[in-house]
Amino acid sequence: MLIFWLSLLVATVSCDHHGSKTTVSPADIEKGVRDFFQKSMDTNKDGKLTEFEYITFMFTFDNDGNGMISGREYVYNMAKKYHTDIQTAAGQFYSIDCASKCDGNVTIGDIRKAWEYMSKGKSSMTEEEYVANTLQYLKQVPTVSPMISKNWPEGHKIKALFKMIDSDMDMAITKKEFEMFFARADTNGDGDLSGREFVTAMVTKAGLTVTFSIRLFVASDCARSCDGKVTSDDIEQIWKSYTDNWIIKGVRPMKLDMIQFIAEFLTTASKLPDVGDKNEELGRKVFAFLEINKNGMLNSAEFYKRMLLMDVNDDGVVDGREFVGALVTEVPEISIRLATKFFISSECTSKPCDGNITLADVHAMWYGMANATQRPGTDLTKAVVTRDQYVKLFLMGLKDLPPLPPDIDAKLPKRKMVMKMFQAVDANSDMRITLKEFGNFFKSMDSNNDKKGTLKEFVSGMVTKFGVDYKFAVSLFMASDCATMCDNYITEADIKDIWNGFVKAYAVNGVNPVSMDGTQFYWQFVKAASKLPILDSLKLDMYLMTDKLGRQFFKSADTNKDGKWDKKEWMTDFHTLDMDGNGVVNGYEYAGAVFQNFNVTVTLAIRFFIASDSAATGMSDGNITHADMEAIWNHLLKAVAMNGTQPTSVTEDQYAKIFVMSAKYLKALPEESEKALPSKKLTISIIKMTDTNSDMMVSWKEFEASFQQYDSDKDNKVSGHEFVGAMMKMFGVDVKFAINLFMVSDCASKCDKYVTEEDVQAIWASWVKDYTVNGVSPMSLKPRQYAWQFIKVVTRFPQMNESKGDKGMITEDLGRQFFMSADTNKDGKWDKNEWMSNFKLMDMDGNGAIDGYEYVGAVFQNFNVSVRLAIKFFMGAERAGSKADGNITQVDIEAMWKSLMKAVAMDGKPQPTTITEDQYVKLFVKSEDYLAATLPPMIEKAIPTKMVMKTLYMKFDTNLDHKVTKAEFEMQFTSKANSEGVPPGEFISGLVKAGMDSNMARRLYASADCAHACDSLISKADVAKIWEDWTSEYVMNGVRPDSLMARQFIWQLVKIATKPSPMPESSRKDIRTLQLSADLVFDLMDSNKDGLLTLEEWKQIPLDTNGDGKISSSEFVTEALHRFRISVDLALRFFAQNDCVLKCDGFITVEDNEAIGKTFLKDPITREQYKAMFVKNVESIYALTTPSPT
């Protein structure tokens, strides 16, 4: 996104008007930056650049007024207005577009992110700040993106081509000039351009390369029909496609200027087919497969016959296996994946996509091919497609093939891997494999030579020798094991059965061949792989629950080695897991011990923990307690009891049997929990990268060196850009994962936006701490120890999207906590008095109603719920007995009680007067179906993310004791540059670096600055007042607390972030701009131009640009920005105010608009009256539309 800032400098500092690069000095660059600021950016000439000026300027590039800047618009404006080289401008656009998401457009969000980053959280920049920031980033960001195709011709060559077409030299080309250019290239005068004529003209007249010109000819030839020449029909179609993107209000342009032509030419260039020996030869081989007569021509009869021959089972359709099998067998150069893409494309030729190539699909394919290669008017049933025509279509089609669906792609093994396997099986290297060689291949993985392959032997061999994915190898073992009988071993009988299944496909007259070649083996292996079950982690874990693993568990706890467990051994084992000695075993203690000491997956260890955690009560509380262990022991004894006799011990055989049987009781992990775990592949890759000497141990030096690999500029610290880029490049991780890992690593010692030597040392110290014995830390970590520490870090990542998890919090356990908190007499039931008293306790100010802050604060601080979920509870409660009015009233509380009584009432029995704990919990769990799916957008936007709240809290809690003292609080409000207090820039930029939205950071600053006195500085007096206000809520018996707990601190932060803020000083001063905006709005609405605004005119306000009868936030903000010069921030606030007049549904409807008008348009008003009301409303709107829980 930083390129956005720099892109406008190119005209003055990097290119001349002809697009050729020039060498410039630093002084020239700085002068160019200053000139641009003064002439183009600082529109009101006050020496400052505001966000509004910046956004307004950038949207001058939005030619079609759709609220976003396309690549064409960006390149066109940069080249037209600022004489930037085309390729440079295109490179800049791609860099901007892909800064957050490569969607082909630069949006308001992209621009605001660029501003946020460049301004460092400020609302404006002076000229000096602008110049300094720009020069700083010019050193870091390339001016041309590597994404630009290396095949694009240079800018001056395209300009030369344009000038040759522009015969009258008016700097625009007409359709006639376009046609005449091609006519001049027609040297033999036959009215068409052959490949030789076309390429010669492009090479000699425009200086394009021969290869590029050939590709351009193929695309031009196929504009209308691939007939081996560029015809008048092709030229007509090219002109149409070039002018399609410049139609304005339904009118096609008569001319294209140079920049429009170049933009279209480059778009075409980026989509040219890859013409080369490899792809052309592949196309010729596919053509040879299709044509049966072998005369170099393909007619409809041959095409239909070839497709029908693929229907091996004669069911009238060609399925995927039939099509792909035929294609890869007859054309071995085609990979399974490419053949599968061809099938997916073919089976959807006529709708619907039904998984088969039907006769209708064959018809559609032939007519599509014939239509593309024949002149208009040709009888397509009698058409003939030449080999050259087909190859051109093939090359064009390669560009349009759909990607493989993930589930299909996951099942298809790579050809390289399968052929490597084939070579290993083919012991005598005769390019064919026999049953004996096939059997020997399996025997080679039988490490103990007992003539049966175990899961470990097979999977280990497949993974280490052939690079097969672990889950795929397990699936392959399961299928092989069950070829004859599922006995957890691959036997000789299994191998023979697999072989017979493979060669059966090539039997002749019922006789199986004695060998297979590589292509046959490849296809049979792929067919088998495509039928394998996709193992989810639960199925995989169930498969690992073997007798052998059960015995390993048993022996680890059988301390006296007598072959049986007694209760003392059982409980002793529990105590050894309690690492911190707090009397309970948490998930990290339990799963860590199991994962590191036994050959199990992390997910299986977690499943064991979940089952153990709920053993005593049936509910999970996050800890295995003494009661849980007692309950599990009793279950074991009950399972081995015989004839009513209760045993006192369990033998190894008994336990192993119970262990294997218990696999069926394993439960799936919550989706979010499973997603939080790093993949096994990633964990292993990182360990291998770190363990440089391959001794299966990671030493401190190796650990330190692994971080140094990320330090690309060798400045002894790793920036976020270096870390995230390296993680994505080296391990293919998701960007959010890489960012999270960087944030955790950066804050290991101190959060300074770099991973330093101190951070690395702190990480290592925390990792080896778990393995310290008698005060001595180990010098290195074993692979499973390293893996476990990495898993602990990853699973503790702050979640980047918490809204999806709200419903997952509504559990029986939470319901029981709610119930017990209000069951004051502890009789296990609520009566109405208890119900009403509970709500009275929340009414902190004693005004008879509970507002959002009172309710949400009480729920959030006393229960383990998110702020968002607490707000959703409030939204449901405040409208229980009346309309939503921002308060839970006596009427609402009465209505909720009546609803509870009605829900537990039983037919034919009197209305109950109490509700039991179990009844309430049952209703509570069901309530998730009635919660709002999302919060209103402005409320959602106002709440700091969990990641931000956690980061800020950790910043304040310097000694990590889970509370913030006054001293720690004051420490964070000390400035490096100003002894009097913290200036706005330093405070806001610090919050933005922590991941907070700049608007929210400014709102927090405004609140903190004015705690004692609004003096543009957070002084010591401000800090003292803030601490006093924050702790006053928790005064008990007149005693103020000396610290704030985590949830108390976070709640105070949330309150400030969501409470109304004063109107920014910059907006308060700029009354003239607001009056101008009011003038523009009035002019638009005063449709009869009589100087008066009526209700009827107001109702017709034309902001519904897509004609769906309602105005979205995108439509409203775009129109407000372009038509009325209203800032994005103010437009969003206007929208929120208007959207919520009747109900907050994300749209301003006709009903909303009419209700707004009725509030101030009882009588017509004049322009001046409207302007005064408009400005006054802006003053109030910052309070009215700042989102809050109420």
Q: What is the pLDDT of residue 16?
A: 36
Retrieve residue 665's tokens. 């009781």
- Average pLDDT of the segment spanning 1065-1070: 42
Q: What is the pLDDT of residue 153?
A: 59
- Sign, CA torsion 904/906/912/915: negative
> pLDDT > 90: what percent of the chain?
3
Q: What is the pLDDT of residue 1096?
A: 81
- Whether this prediction's pTM lies above 0.75 is answered by no
How far is 1032 from 412, CA to CA, in rounded Å? 64
How far is 865 from 870, CA to CA, in rounded Å? 7
Three-state SS sequence of 50-115: EHHHHHHHHHHHCCCCCCCEEHHHHHHHHHHHHCCCHHHHHHHHHHHHCCCCCCCEECHHHHHHHH
Q: Beta strand 829-831 with 718-719: parallel, antiparallel or unpaired?
A: unpaired
Judge whether 888 and 805 are in contact, CB under 8 Å.
Answer: no
Of 67, 52, 68, which Cα lies nearest the Cα of 1115? Answer: 67
Of 983, 1072, 971, which Cα lies nearest the Cα of 1019? Answer: 983
Q: Is the pLDDT of residue 15 over 50?
A: no
Q: Residue 1187: how many CB atoms within 10 A of its CB? A: 22
Establish whether the linkage from the previous residue to 146 is cis, with ω within 30° of 0: no
Q: Is the pLDDT of residue 802 over 50?
A: no
User: Which tens digit of pLDDT belongs to each residue from 92-117?
Assistant: 665 566 545 556 677 776 777 777 76
User: Which tens digit of pLDDT belongs to each residue from 192-203?
Assistant: 888 888 888 887
Q: Position 759: which residue type?
A: D
User: Which tens digit of pLDDT belongs to each residue from 276-302?
Assistant: 556 777 888 888 888 888 888 888 888
Rounded to the nearest 10 degrees, the angle between the axes of helix 320-330 and helix 518-530 is 160
How far is 182 from 234, CA to CA, in rounded Å? 11
Query: Confidence band (pLDDT; 50, 70, 90) for 985?
Result: low
> pLDDT > 70: what percent of the chain?
81
Q: What are phi and psi of 308, to 5 degrees?
A: -70, -30
Ramachandran category for residue 912: left, alpha or beta (phi over 0 → left; psi -120 to 50 → alpha): beta
* E strands present in 203-249: 229-230
Q: Which residues fall within 8 angstroms of residue 419, CB to CB, at 6 or more apart?
A: 518, 522
Q: Is the pLDDT of residue 150 over 60?
A: no
Cα distances (angstroms) measured from residue 15 to each of 11, 23, 132, 147: 6, 9, 22, 20
CA 73 distance to own-chain centroid: 27
The residue count of the chain comes to: 1190
Ramachandran category for residue 1086: left, alpha or beta (phi over 0 → left; psi -120 to 50 → alpha): beta
Q: Is the pLDDT of residue 22 over 80?
A: no
User: Which tens digit of pLDDT belongs to each residue from 584-640?
Assistant: 888 888 888 888 888 788 888 888 888 888 887 777 777 888 888 888 888 888 888
- Scanning the structure block, which residue is given the tokens 């004695």? 514
Query: Confidence band (pLDDT; 50, 70, 90) for 214?
Result: confident
Judge whether 660 and 546 are in contact, CB under 8 Å.
Answer: yes
Cα distances (angstroms) measured from residue 306 to each of 301, 329, 394: 9, 14, 17
How far is 32 from 828, CA to CA, in rounded Å? 77
Query: Confidence band (pLDDT; 50, 70, 90) for 1064?
Result: very low
- Average pLDDT of the segment spanning 250-276: 73
Retrieve residue 762's tokens. 């702190």
How far is 413 from 1150, CA to CA, in rounded Å? 57
Of the listed ranges 32-36, 265-269, 644-648, 965-969, the least confidently predicted one is 265-269
State the DSSP code for 124.
E
Contacts for 93-102 with beta carbons within 8 Å, 24 or more apart?
93/7, 94/145, 94/147, 94/148, 95/3, 95/141, 95/142, 95/145, 95/147, 96/1, 96/3, 96/4, 96/7, 97/71, 98/145, 98/147, 99/1, 99/2, 99/3, 99/4, 100/1
Q: What is the pLDDT of residue 1063?
A: 43
Query: Confidence band (pLDDT; 50, 70, 90) for 391?
Result: confident
Q: What is the pLDDT of residue 805?
A: 47
Q: Which residues fall within 8 angstroms of residue 204, CB to CB, at 6 or more apart?
A: none
Q: Tell me which of 259 and 964 has the higher pLDDT.
A: 964
Q: Is the pLDDT of residue 204 over 70?
A: yes
For residues 146-162, one letter each, b for 16 or more C-beta atoms within 10 angstroms of the residue's C-beta and e for the rest, the string is: eebeeebbebebbbebb
Q: Residue 227: how many CB atoms within 10 A of its CB? A: 22
How far is 1014 from 1068, CA to CA, in rounded Å? 15
- Scanning the structure block, which residue is given the tokens 């004859």? 484
Q: What is the pLDDT of residue 97?
A: 60
Q: What is the pLDDT of residue 701?
A: 92
How far is 32 from 143, CA to CA, in rounded Å? 15
Of 353, 386, 383, which Cα lies nearest the Cα of 368? Answer: 383
How far is 787 from 772, CA to CA, in rounded Å? 17
Query: Confidence band (pLDDT; 50, 70, 90) for 956?
Result: confident
User: Which tens digit of pLDDT belongs to each residue from 331-372?
Assistant: 877 877 888 888 888 877 776 677 788 888 888 888 888 877
Query: Confidence band (pLDDT; 50, 70, 90) for 64?
Result: low
Q: What is the pLDDT of residue 42?
A: 75
Q: Is the pLDDT of residue 521 over 80?
A: yes
How far is 1142 from 1149, CA to CA, in rounded Å? 9
Q: Position 540: which residue type?
A: L
Q: What is the pLDDT of residue 400?
A: 67
Q: Which residues fall within 8 angstroms of residue 746, CB to CB, at 6 or more apart?
A: 720, 752, 753, 754, 755, 759
Largest distance between two CA atoms of the chain? 109
User: Which tens digit of pLDDT belongs to each residue from 705-752?
Assistant: 988 888 888 888 988 778 877 887 788 777 677 878 888 888 888 877
Q: What is the mean pLDDT of the chain?
A: 77
Judge whether 1057 and 943 are in contact, CB under 8 Å.
Answer: yes
Helices (H), 291-414: 300-309, 320-330, 336-347, 359-373, 387-400, 406-411
Q: What is the pLDDT of residue 651?
A: 92
Of 1107, 1126, 1102, which Cα lies nearest the Cα of 1181? Answer: 1126
State the DSSP code for 780.
E
Q: Residue 947: how many CB atoms within 10 A of its CB? A: 20
Of 1064, 1063, 1060, 1076, which Cα lies nearest the Cα of 1174? Answer: 1076
Q: What is the DSSP string of 971-1039?
A: HTT--SS-SSEE-HHHHHHHHHHTT--HHHHHHHHHHHHTTT--SSSEEHHHHHHHHHHHHHTT-BTTB
Q: Is the pLDDT of residue 1098 over 80?
A: no
- Scanning the structure block, which residue is given the tokens 């002439």? 39
Rounded to the nearest 10 degrees, the angle between the axes of helix 1071-1085 and helix 1167-1184 is 120
- Helix, strand, coil % over all residues of the chain, rounded to 5: 60, 10, 35
Q: What CA dihedral angle connects 995, 1000, 1001 and 1003, to 10 degrees?
A: -170
Q: Tell me which of 394 and 796 has the higher pLDDT.
A: 394
Q: Is the pLDDT of residue 375 over 80?
A: no
